[in-house]
Amino acid sequence: MTHFLSILDLTRGDVEEIFAAAARLKTQQKRGEPHHLLQGRTLAMIFEKPSLRTRVSFEVGMFQLGGHTIHLAPETVQLGVRESVSDVARNLGRWVDGIMARVFHQATVEALARASGVPVINGLSDREHPCQALADVFTLSEHGFDPKKTRLAFVGDGNNVCHSLVLLAGLLGMTIVVSSPNGFEPDLDVVQRARALGASVELVHVPVEAVRGADAIYTDVWTSMGQEAEREKRVRAFQGYQVNRALVAHAKPGARVMHCLPAHRGEEITDDVLDGPQSLALAQAENRLHVQKAVLVRLLGRHV
């Protein structure tokens, strides 16, 4: 594991080690125990998109590990405009120990990795959101769910988060059912790769069919950043895909509800569900910090 651009960069063993390290680092942080495993290390953070959770969790994570971050805003770098992606990568690789990039295109993080000479982490792209998926399944594990025995229903757009969850299900043997309108399903090649890894991946169009018997229900925004011009079309297409009390009632009693945030309240999910006792949304957000710290230590430092 020299970069973390995709869930496909991991093995099942990698995931297990990252989860174990995340649990230890979380315990140390809660106890107030110093764990400066990246003392003197620097992470450059490239942003083409706005961010709350990604920026704060990586910045705080590096601080808690004894390292330092450099925030590079869109107007600062202008990847591919002010200078080429490869030139940016080659320069950064001479100064920093790692790069985290939150970008529009998967090809951008791949180009950074080819040229940088230092580890690159995908903080989000149009193809995947691997750090989010790791935090999600870690959160399920924390709440007593064995991935091999878990049925996860994803209701909504077959987007980057969905892709990473589907691939992670393949690594861990988890069952995942995705319910999307026609034309908004996850990419077929992602589904095929996940099935080849051992995932049970089902694609359905009726949300009730997806959530029936589910241990957890996951949703995300219908219109992601960069898709604003499609908003009206997407809102029409996703009518009937809202995660609300009526839909949750078809899942297992006490089924958990997940959302990677930010949420468009009243669209893909209702307030009473997102803020209700079955919601894991804030636990997922918190665990971005701990899982990403484990990834950072694995790539930039020594194992924990």
pLDDT tens for 143-171 read: 999 999 999 999 999 999 999 999 999 99
Catalytic site includes residue 12: no
pLDDT band per the 50, 70, 90 thresholds, residue 1 = confident
Catalytic site includes residue 102: yes
Q: Is the pLDDT of residue 85 over 60?
A: yes
Q: What is the per-residue pLDDT for 303?
A: 47
Rounded to a whole number of angstroms, the distance between the first and last alpha carbons of the chain is 15
The mean of the pLDDT values for the chain is 96
DSSP string computed for 48-104: SS--SHHHHHHHHHHHHTT-EEEEE-HHHH-BTTTB-HHHHHHHHHHH-SEEEEE-S
Catalytic site includes residue 260: yes
Catalytic site includes residue 131: no
CATH number for region 144-279: 3.40.50.1370
**Do the domains 7-129+287-300 and 144-279 sit in the same CATH topology, yes or no?**
yes
Helix ranges (DSSP H) in the chain: 12-31, 53-64, 74-77, 85-95, 106-116, 130-142, 160-172, 188-197, 207-211, 231-237, 245-248, 271-274, 281-300
For domain 7-129+287-300, the CATH class is alpha beta
Catalytic site includes residue 97: no
Beta bridge partners of 176: 152, 201
**For the chain, which residues make up each domain, given as ranges?**
7-129+287-300, 144-279
pLDDT band per the 50, 70, 90 thresholds, residue 304 = very low
Give ∠ CA 68-73-75 in degrees, rounded to 5: 150
Least confident span in 48-57, 74-83, 89-98: 74-83
Instruction: State how far the alpha carbon of 6 is from the alpha carbons of 121, 122, 174, 176, in Å.
Output: 9, 7, 18, 18
41, 53, 55, 102: which is the annotated catalytic residue?
102
29, 136, 157, 260: which is the annotated catalytic residue?
260
53, 55, 127, 288: which is the annotated catalytic residue?
288
Q: What is the per-residue pLDDT for 150?
A: 97
Catalytic site includes residue 302: no
pTM over 0.85: yes
Q: What is the per-residue pLDDT for 82?
A: 84
